[in-house]
Amino acid sequence: MEYFLQQLINGVTLGSIYGLIAIGYTMVYGIIGMINFAHGDIFMIGAFMALIFIILLGLTISTSVAILMLALILVLVIAMALTSVYGWTVERLAYRPLRTSFRLAPLITAIGMSIVLQNYVQIVQGARVKPLQPLISGGFTLMEVTSEEGTFAVNLSYIQILIIVTTLILMTVFSLLIARTSLGRSQRACEQDRKMAALIGVNVDRTISLTFVMGAALAAVAGMMYLLYYGVIDFYIGFVAGVKAFTAAVLGGIGSLPGAMLGGMLIGLIETFWSAYFTIEYKDVAAFSILAIVLIFLPSGILGRPEVEKV
Amino acid sequence: MTSETAPDSAPENAAKHKPAPPQTRDLAASLKDAGLAALITFALAAPIMGLHTMSLPGGGGLAIVPNWASVFISVVVVFVGRLLLDLFVWRRVVQIPIGDKWFRRPGGMPFARHAHRLGGVAGPLLLGFTIIMPFLPFSDRYIMDLSILVLTYVMLGWGLNIVVGLAGLLDLGYVAFYAVGAYSYALLAQYFDLGFWVCLPLAGILAAFWGLLLGFPVLRLRGDYLAIVTLAFGEIIRIVLLNWYQFTGGPDGISGIPRPSFFGLEFSRGDDGFAAFFGLDYSPMHRIIFLYYLILILALITNFVTMRLRRLPVGRAWEALREDEIACRSLGINTTNTKLTAFAIGAMFGGFAGSFFATRQGFISPESFTFIESALILAIVVLGGLGSQIGVVIAAVVMIGGFEYFREFEQYRMLIFGLAMVVIMVWRPRGLIATREPSIALGKRKAISGDLVGEGHG
């Protein structure tokens, strides 16, 4: 029971990170109907941005809590802003010129972009893994059980709280953005019918660009959380994280924002429990198999609408 | 900043969708535009490129090493490049008063028409050259090894071309079938002591079987889902091979895979070897030349089968499916089965190539079957031209040869390779030699340019 509770906490934390990345996939898919294959690498760029600015500001564990919090918020904002530029540029260079082309074309450029981003970071930042000393330590002990095998404590660390709370706040903010603002209205209009939206005066190009910017900003948050949680990143983290986040988006129902979050949570939980109770080597296999199973039995996802093909 | 006039840090891509600017566009506007592009480049490059994180000795964390020179260079290159393009290239294009559609894909139409003729002339010439190549004076061990590698990729490219080029299904996990073929042969040889010639068809059948198994549930879905599922499948196969230590040897791989024999004759030094039987002096080159012809024949079989299949009803159905899935369905074509045949046949050729790879190397490990391999094969098909057989050959020669030639620039070649994928897709979305001519036509043959066809889902 204690073990289960601990894995539940870990799974929710991991799920929050996947959920944040999944939102980027789901928004882009919703609006232009393509898989932004480079999104996982945007997440990786976000993690690197966070790493660079954390080191640049000289943050360590001995920094006082108030300053550390302010500095981390600053780093988060900078990382979000700069990673958004990457998201914007990728869309502008690789996807927009192909918007009228055949369906496979943007998928192929997306793979190209993913390779470019990975190797670019590998060249300019080096291929070695980048370790970061933990910045936030400690936490609450929720439960402590002593048995003959020793003491098992269920911990909820501060960093896990930080990740879950940040995710909840950002989810709320972005849901409101989509539901209430004129940008969100344009996005939903483009999602339904791009040509019609253009006819009634929605700037479609700008809306699509901003969708990519929003997705990249959230991926940057996920990247920073990943960095703080695991303390080590390299240029390759985007690939597997990207596929899993995409799985999350499909599981939750692609195009649906709460679906992405729900899917992310489920994938995080499944992966954590699989590692805890079965084999850690096959945790990726478990996540990928779920993708296949979901697509076969529930192609529109948990919260998605079934797709209607229009001629 | 509205996105219409938004600048762009890789100028060559941006021209296509630039709306015609007013004729009075002057130097100041160009400067402003280039300045914005430079500013964006600065934002992109400054942190990631300019602030290099380096590990401190002794595991004491990371330190920042500034590297402003390369940031400065990239900003200047983008500024000057954008300015020059804006002043001299794009201006000329937009001044011609026809709709800008004509300028989006320069030369798309005429090129496609020549492709057919190019294949007709260059094909036999190339084939003749490949047949006599081992006996030409410059063919040493190194050249032959490289040629075998190129031919392996040509075969893989042709195999994938059936799936991507003809049927229009994006398969990102083609390397999985290559791995299935390689491991089928290696494991059958290890556990049942079977020879290459028995295992070759078995490997193909097993790969096709996996193709069916994977394709059956997934091919009912939309195309993009297929891409991601095949990608996941490729990873699953690799992870299983890596972790199933007792059966596959895990990361250590399988070594000592038997070499192929020439009608029962081994390429060995002994009295019953190939050289002794034909009264030749023993030379290790014999095996290399044999392997060369083996993969050449396998590749040609792939090509021949593809060309014949294209004329059969199922091939025509593939091409129709690629163009418009909804129309196919309304004409009564069973789309799932049609896709499945393409998928399985493509997988089968991947399996053949895989077992050839195993026998050539004598050693295989999961490291040879990573995602990047799939991406490479896909790039060969895409850059050569979807559906074009000769294009695949040219792309394989250029890419594998180029990879070999730029061996010292190991780090940069993947970067260039990714960039090439993007640039060629944007510049010429149907590949360098794009053919969308139907293999069989009623009456007059018509080349279809990719730009003229609005494609449906599928």
Q: Which residue has the higher pLDDT, A220 or B250?
A: A220
Domains recognised in chain B with CATH numbers: 11-104 (no CATH), 112-452 (1.10.3470)
* Alpha-carbon gap: A194 to the closest alpha carbon of chain B (Å): 15
Q: Is B32 in contact with B7 (CB distance < 8 Å)?
A: no
Within 10 Å of residue A212's Cβ, how many Cβ atoms?
Answer: 27
| Cross-chain residue pair B425–A105, CB shorter than 8 Å | yes
Q: What is the pLDDT of residue B114?
A: 57
Q: Which of B9, B48, B170 to mutate to test the interface with A (most CBs of A within 10 A)?
A: B48
Chain B hits for A49, Cβ within 8 Å: 47-48
Distance CA A137, CA A52 (A): 20
Query: What does the alpha-carbon distance between residue A229 and residue A159 come to, in Å, rounded to a whole number?
Result: 7
The count of CB pairs under 8 A between chains A and B is 209
Chain A partners within 8 Å of B371 (Cβ): 239
Q: Please state the pTM of the whole predicted model.
A: 0.83
The predicted pLDDT at position A164 comes to 92
Q: Which residue of B has its CA nearest to A128?
A: B55
Residue B412: predicted pLDDT: 83
What is the mean pLDDT of the segment spanning A59-66? 80
Residue B380 sits at the vertex; the CA angle it makes with B111 and B141, to the nearest 5 degrees, is 115
Nearest to A142 by CA among A130, A131, A154: A154
B290-331 pLDDT tens trace: 889 999 999 999 999 998 998 888 888 988 888 888 888 888
Query: What ipTM was reported for this prediction?
Result: 0.84
> Which one of B172, B426, B436 makes the best mutation probe of the A interface by having the most chain A beta carbons within 10 Å?
B426
Which of B2, B62, B421 faces A130 most closely, judged by CB atoms?
A: B62
Give the pLDDT score at B109: 44
Residue of higher predicted confidence among B268 and A97: A97
List the one residue out of B6, B16, B15 whose CA is nearest residue B36: B6
What pairing do the DSSP bridges indicate for beta strands A232-233 and A130-131? antiparallel
Q: Report the interhelical angle of B313-323 vs B285-311 (nearest 10°).
A: 80
Residue B350's pLDDT is 94
Tell me which residues of chain B have a pLDDT lower than 70.
Answer: 1-25, 58-60, 90-120, 222-223, 430-458
Interface contact A111-B378, CB threshold 8 A: yes
Q: Do A115 and B326 count as a contact with CB atoms less than 8 A apart? A: no
pLDDT at A213 over 90: yes
- Least CB–CB distance from A109: residue in B44, B422, B430: B422
Asked if residues A34 and A212 have their Cβ atoms less than 8 Å apart, the reply is: no
For the residues A146-170, what does the mean pLDDT come to?
Answer: 84
Cβ contact (<8 Å) for A48 and B48? yes
Give the nearest partner residue to B429 out of A101, A119, A128, using CB atoms.
A101
Fold of A2-297: ABC transporter involved in vitamin B12 uptake, BtuC (1.10.3470)
Residue B431's pLDDT is what?
66
Residues with Cβ within 8 Å of residue B404, at least 6 apart in sequence? B146, B149
- What percentage of chain A reaches a pLDDT higher than 90? 32
* Bridge partner residues of A157 (DSSP): A139
Subunit contact B417:A289, Cβ cutoff 8 A? no
Q: Test B420 with A112 for CB contact under 8 angstroms.
A: yes
Indicate the residue of A116, A122, A203 with minimum beta-carbon distance to B411.
A122
Residue range A10-26, pLDDT digits in tens:
999 999 999 999 998 88
Q: Which residues of B touch A281 (CB under 8 A)?
A: 239, 242-243
Q: Which residue has the higher pLDDT, A274 or A145?
A: A274
> Which of the two residues, B259 and A51, has the higher pLDDT score?
A51
